[in-house]
Structure 1
Amino acid sequence: MAEQSDWVERFYGLSRLDLPTKQLLTTRSTIIDVAKDTMLFGPGNSPENMLFLLDGTVRVQQVSETGHEIVLYRIEAGQSCVLTTACLLAYDDYSAEGITETPVRAAAVPRGVFDDLVAQSKSFRDFVFAAFSKRITDLFLMIDEVAFQRLDVRLAGVLIKLAGESDKISTTHQKLSVELGTAREVVSRQLQEFHRRGWIETGRGSVTLLDRAAIGKLAGQES
């Protein structure tokens, strides 16, 4: 199967590995397919594989003892999971959950192979820690936003990000509250304010951007 033998080339850092290391990764890995809305991992679980995402999106979120949720980051195609990396390196259990937002295809590399490569291959270590470092920086930025940035600014940024090239977002007030790490009622009030300004139109399970330029300006982005 072609994908089994060439998936390594889809990851910039891995594509620069020496041929024997690439062959080890491809021969010892397994290509897996996971349906949408599946929990890939959760608190208390120990990772048995390092997953390299080939297609789809995985949402990694933290859930408190009181049920409060916040999205920590998303894993996109061509990326690996920093939390899985941390748990593999520390031989620790997950402290957050990863849920597929779309159908997902990934290459699963067994823990034993990961351990051997981290110990023996400098190039593989460089790849692992470069990805780890970037994601940690992203997490610090997210913490800074949650702690210090105004909610309306953050909500505007999330709407622009989720909309992409479209003006209609399939989402709910609850899902947006998880994105922002705040209560659904708080998000609902802010959406009502955006609606009052004529920036958005809300429907059942959707938000439509009517004035992308105004929302983008508030978010500090180019319209």
Structure 2
Amino acid sequence: MNLAKKFTAPKGTILFSPGQDCPGFLILKQGCIKVTLTGSSGREVVLYRVHPGEVCLQTFTCLIEDQTYSAEGVVEEDLQGDLISAGQFRQVMEQDDAFRNDVLTSVALRFSEYQQLIEDVALTGFDARLAKVLLRLVDATGIVHVTHTALAAETASGRAYVSRRLAEFARRGIVEQLAEGIRLCNPAELAQISEQK
């Protein structure tokens, strides 16, 4: 797209924060953005992650409604993409049917993920949520390299409760808590737990 400017950002960069104006629409080609919301209590929850080909709902809402951001976006993996200014985004949405269809399809998928998040928090037991997150974040060596605080954000809960449930998982031999993270000792049992309501 000739209207776009090349955009890069290294891991750890804060792309946007609550109250910030949106600079434009990012067509992500490489990398990952984690989008989180922090409540007045200081508790943080991970809303979603943006991967190549996906749309950030925060950005989409800001551009369509001419609002500021209400969440924070942080680069989890070095990213590369093309940035379209706010004015150009509106123009392309009006004039380019293929672009508009791609964006709206991605927005619909993101809303489905939101619905799943709400369902998980409201209707799924905590152990199932924790098991899902551990299985999603595990690396090729079988270790989840996150803190208990980060797991609390991923599961929309408190750090102390995460620590208690991980201790119980460890007592049952499902996980092992290490200095560098959490080793999944029994992924099959975690998968069973993740299916419980």
- Normalising TM by the smaller chain, what interval? over 0.9
Residues in 1 aligned to 2:68 and 2:103: alpha-carbon distance in whole angstroms: 19
Compute the displacement of 1:81 (Å): 1.3
The answer for the alignment partner of 2:102 in structure 1 is 127
| Structure with greater proportional helix content | 1
The answer for the alignment partner of 2:149 in structure 1 is 174
Identity in percent: 32
The answer for the alignment partner of 1:137 in structure 2 is 112
Equivalent residue letter for 2:3: R
**Number of residue pairs aligned between Structure 1 and Structure 2:** 196
- Name the stretch that deviates more: 180-189 or 121-130: 121-130
Residues in 2 aligned to 1:170 and 1:29: alpha-carbon distance in whole angstroms: 35
The RMSD of aligned alpha carbons is 1.4
User: Alpha-carbon deviations, 1:30-50, whole Å to 9, x = none?
Assistant: 122211111101110111210
- Name the stretch that deviates more: 208-217 or 163-172: 163-172
Q: Does 1:64 align with 2:39?
A: yes
Instruction: List alignment gaps of at least 5 residues for structure 2.
Output: none
The SS at the match of 2:166 is: helix
Residues in 1 aligned to 2:78 and 2:106: alpha-carbon distance in whole angstroms: 23
The runs of at least 4 aligned residues of structure 1 exceeding 4 Å deviation read none
TM-score by length of 1: 0.84
Indicate conservation of the 8 Å contact 1:82/1:131, yes or no.
no
| Structure with greater proportional strand content | 2
- Which of the two has higher C-alpha Rg? 1
- Name the stretch that deviates more: 185-194 or 115-124: 115-124
Indicate conservation of the 8 Å contact 2:32/2:52, yes or no.
yes
Compute the displacement of 1:164 (Å): 4.9
Instruction: List alignment gaps of at least 5 residues for structure 1.
Output: 1-24
Alignment counterpart, residue 46 of structure 1, candidates 21, 24, 28: 21
TM-score by length of 2: 0.95
Residues in 2 aligned to 1:164 and 1:77: alpha-carbon distance in whole angstroms: 20
Equivalent residue letter for 1:119: E
Compute the displacement of 1:65 (Å): 1.4
